[in-house]
Amino acid sequence: MSGHKLDPIDRKILMELQDDGRMTNVELSRRVGISAPPCLRRVRSLEESGYIQGYHARVNARELGYEVMVFAMVSLKSQAGADLAAFEARARGWPLVRECFMLNGEIDFLLKCMAPNLAAFQSFLTDHLTAAPNVASVKTSLVIRAAKDEPGIPFEAMDTVADNA
Amino acid sequence: MSGHKLDPIDRKILMELQDDGRMTNVELSRRVGISAPPCLRRVRSLEESGYIQGYHARVNARELGYEVMVFAMVSLKSQAGADLAAFEARARGWPLVRECFMLNGEIDFLLKCMAPNLAAFQSFLTDHLTAAPNVASVKTSLVIRAAKDEPGIPFEAMDTVADNA
DNA sequence: GTTGAAAGTATGGTCGA
DNA sequence: TCGACCATACTTTCAAC
């Protein structure tokens, strides 16, 4: 991890692998316009320097029995550093909490939760989240549908007149 | 996509590929305890049936110049079907909006946005999001830090006494 | 970055439980 | 039907330039 400047080929590699992380190195090298060995060296270097943090298959949550996504907006009683850290540690330990972000403003944490059904989420909410130390209030919103769900960052905007933001 | 029942080997394949989407098929087959050819056939079948929806490298947004993540909570004036769809189409067209979920309750949509800096986000907010037709109000919250950011679903909980939810 | 060679991987065919 | 084994083509990866 560092300030290595990335050249356009590195950027293209990252873009392609964000889009298809299982592409073979030969195909990747073809797309970025260099031969396979230096392409692989670049990928390894991007992995080691932390520009690439991992590769993940995206699975169909619904078909696998995770039918509900819920966002939980959590406010704490105390925002002291140790109390924030304690809540974060607890959140990391709940498997059904997939993402936990500390926010500015009234809401302290936003949690993206995946559960098999509403009942499972409700029991998590009452037995664990609301019951956790230092939690002042929790507001939840059920996701009706995902209109867009893209991973990572918008490489398309990096090579474009960013007019559409 | 369908109701093919998945056996424990398929589930293990999905778990392993969610965790490391670039694992070789040989390594995957070793982990799930079958030989490579049937393992590959299962992976292809999981891809074709939609259980696996894609593979993505996770890139380091900050190092690539996307320093801010912001959640925008959007309420619309009209929630008529066509108006919801129109907003969704617009959201899909904004590269900086990475995720857009329709929620129940007062907030109609939650948008996860990635931007190079606050100024870039603010200009998106004023020039595009708030300015979009039918938008009644937008509340934004800046992400201070990510305490947890795991993709997909909690396979660990599927084989465990789900006591910690 | 390129070339070329060695090792490892993907993948179709075929057989047997 | 599904997995194992085998054979071939393709990919990865290293060494030399």
pLDDT on residue B1? 42
CB atoms B1 and A107 under 8 Å: no
Give the tokens for residue A52: 């690439």
- CA Rg, chain A, in Å? 20
Strand D bases within 7 angstroms of protein beta carbons: 2-6, 10-16
Other C-beta atoms closer than 10 Å to the C-beta of B54 total 15
pLDDT on residue A5? 81
Residue A163 contacts by C-beta under 8 Å, 6 or more apart in sequence? Answer: none
Q: Which of B10, B46, B101 to mutate to test the interface with A (most CBs of A within 10 A)?
A: B101
The per-residue pLDDT for range B86-142, each reduced to its tens digit, is 999 999 999 999 999 999 999 999 999 999 999 999 999 999 999 999 999 999 999
**Distance, CA of A11 to CA of B98 (rounded, Å):** 19
Other C-beta atoms closer than 10 Å to the C-beta of B105 total 12
Residues linked to residue B51 through DSSP beta bridges, in sequence order: none
B113 three-class SS: strand
Chain B residues with CB-CB distance to A57 below 8 A = 14, 17-18, 21, 52, 54-55, 152
CB atoms A93 and B164 under 8 Å: yes
Residue B63 contacts by C-beta under 8 Å, 6 or more apart in sequence? Answer: A1, A50, A51
* Whole-number Cα distances in Å, B85 to A141, B48, B71, B112: 19, 28, 20, 18
- Examine the pLDDT at B164 and tell me if it is beyond 60: no
pLDDT on residue B165? 53
Q: Which phi-psi region, left, alpha or beta, contains residue B157 (left: φ > 0; alpha: ψ -120 to 50)? A: alpha
Own/partner long-range contacts of B31-38 (Cβ < 8 Å, ≥24 apart): B33/B9, B34/B9
Q: Calculate mean pLDDT across residues B149-164.
A: 76
Domains of chain A plus CATH, in order, are: 8-57 (1.10.10.10), 62-142 (3.30.70.920)
Average pLDDT, chain B: 94
pLDDT on residue A154? 97
Q: Calculate mean pLDDT across residues B68-96.
A: 98
One-letter amino acid for residue B103 of the chain: L
pLDDT on residue B89? 98
A123 three-class SS: helix
**Distance, CA of A147 to CA of B109 (rounded, Å):** 9
- Examine the pLDDT at B2 and tell me if it is beyond 50: no
CA closest to D15 C1', residue: A37
Residues A92, A113, B58, CA angle at the centre, nearest 5°?
70
- Closest CA relative to residue A74, chosen from A83, A66, A65, A82: A83
Predicted TM-score (pTM) of the model is 0.93
Q: How long, in residues, is chain B?
A: 165
Residue A28's nearest nucleotide, by CA–C1', is D11
pLDDT on residue B114? 98
Query: Sign of dihedral through CA atoms B40, B43, B47, B50?
Result: positive
Query: Sign of dihedral through CA atoms A40, A43, A49, A53?
Result: negative
Residue A37's nearest nucleotide, by CA–C1', is D13
Measured in degrees and rounded to the nearest 5, phi and psi for residue B102 equal: -85, 130
Per-residue pLDDT of chain A (165 residues; tens, 9 = 90+): 444 589 999 999 999 999 999 999 999 999 999 999 999 999 999 999 999 999 999 999 999 999 999 999 999 999 999 999 999 999 999 999 999 999 999 999 999 999 999 999 999 999 999 999 999 999 999 999 999 999 999 998 676 554 545
pLDDT on residue A156? 81
Q: Calculate mean pLDDT across residues B59-84.
A: 98
Q: Say which residue, B158 or A63, is predicted with more confidence.
A: A63
Residue B36's nearest nucleotide, by CA–C1', is C10
- Examine the pLDDT at B65 and tell me if it is beyond 60: yes
